[in-house]
Amino acid sequence: MRQKLAAGNWKMNGTGAALAELEALIQTQSAAKSEILICPPATLLSRAADIASESNLSLGGQDCHAASSGAHTGDLSAQMLKEAGATSVILGHSERRADHNETSETVAAKAAAAWGAGLTAIVCLGETLAEREAGDTLQIIGAQFATSLPDGATAKNTVIAYEPVWAIGTGKVPSLAQIAEVHDFLRAELSTRFGAEMAATTRLLYGGSVKPGNASDIFTTSNVDGALVGGASLKAEDFSPIIAALDAS
Active site residues: 93, 163
Rg for the chain (alpha carbons), in Å? 17
Q: Bridge partners of 61?
A: 89
Angstrom distance (rounded) from CA 162 to CA 20:
29
CA angle 168, 91, 58 (to 5 degrees): 90
Angstrom distance (rounded) from CA 70 to CA 173:
41
Q: Give 150-162 as a 3 state SS string.
A: CCCCCCCCEEEEE
Angstrom distance (rounded) from CA 126 to CA 141:
6
Contact 212, 241 (CB under 8 A): yes
Helix axis angle, 19-28 to 45-52, nearest 10°: 30
DSSP label at residue 77: B
* Alpha helix stretches (DSSP H) within 57-175: 78-84, 94-99, 104-116, 129-133, 137-148
Angstrom distance (rounded) from CA 120 to CA 114:
7
Cα-based torsion angle of the residue sequence 84, 88, 91, 94 in order, rounded to the nearest 10 degrees? -100
10 Å Cβ neighbour count for 206?
A: 27
